[in-house]
């Protein structure tokens, strides 16, 4: 009966329970072996004193080359990250320079506007001072003017004797 079931599974392309178990055991064994090799490799890279003392010259050179290769990879990645950071910083500097120039231009425009306003204020003040000087020279300016000579005489005390008639 088991042979019939195995033939069925083979024909259909499925695995029997026994085959699955065997495959899992094989996989487990290979994973254990791989894990042991990785642990050994890690211990080699850590290089404890007793492990280094028991090694041959060729093994130590190979270990040194592996470490040098790893160091070079780390340095290359570090350099790549530094270049990226430098590029980002340079872009930020450029943006800040543009913004700084825009702010200086705005400040200069504001200062020019303020100077123009101050010039207008000063001009108005000078004009008002000159206008006041003119008004001070002509005290009757702006007052109601007499319409006739009689009104003029009435507003001032005039000594008629001083007036000479021809």
Average pLDDT score over residue span 38-66? 78
pLDDT of residue 80: 98
H-helix or E-strand spanning residue 5: helix 2-12
Question: H or E stretch including 31?
Answer: helix 17-46
86-125 burial: b if 16+ Cβ within 10 Å, else e:
eeeeeeeeeeeeeeeeeeeeeeeeeeeeeeeeeeeeeeee
How far CA 115 is from CA of 61, 106, 118, 122, in Å, comes to 78, 14, 5, 10
Top-confidence range, 22-26, 82-86, 137-141 = 82-86
Mean pLDDT is lowest, of 24-38, 47-61, 64-78, 111-125, for 47-61
Structure confidence at residue 160 as a pLDDT band (50, 70, 90): low
pLDDT tier at 18, thresholds 50, 70, 90: low
């Amino acid at each position: 009966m088991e042979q019939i079931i195995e033939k069925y599974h083979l024909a259909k392309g499925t695995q029997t329970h026994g085959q699955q178990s065997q495959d899992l055991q094989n996989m487990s064994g290979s994973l254990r072996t791989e894990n042991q090799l990785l642990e050994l490799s890690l211990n080699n890279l850590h290089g404890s004193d007793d492990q280094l003392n028991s090694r041959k010259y060729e093994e130590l050179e190979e270990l040194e080359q592996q470490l040098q290769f790893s160091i070079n990879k780390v340095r290359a990645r570090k350099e790549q990250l530094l270049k990226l950071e430098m590029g980002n910083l340079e872009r930020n500097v450029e943006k800040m320079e543009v913004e700084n120039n825009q702010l200086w231009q705005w400040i200069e425009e504001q200062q020019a506007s303020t100077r123009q306003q101050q010039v207008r204020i000063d001009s108005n003040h000078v004009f008002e001072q000159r206008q006041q000087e003119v008004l001070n020279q002509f005290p009757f300016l702006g007052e109601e003017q007499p319409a006739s000579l009689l009104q003029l005489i009435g507003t001032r005390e005039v000594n008629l004797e001083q007036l000479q008639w021809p």
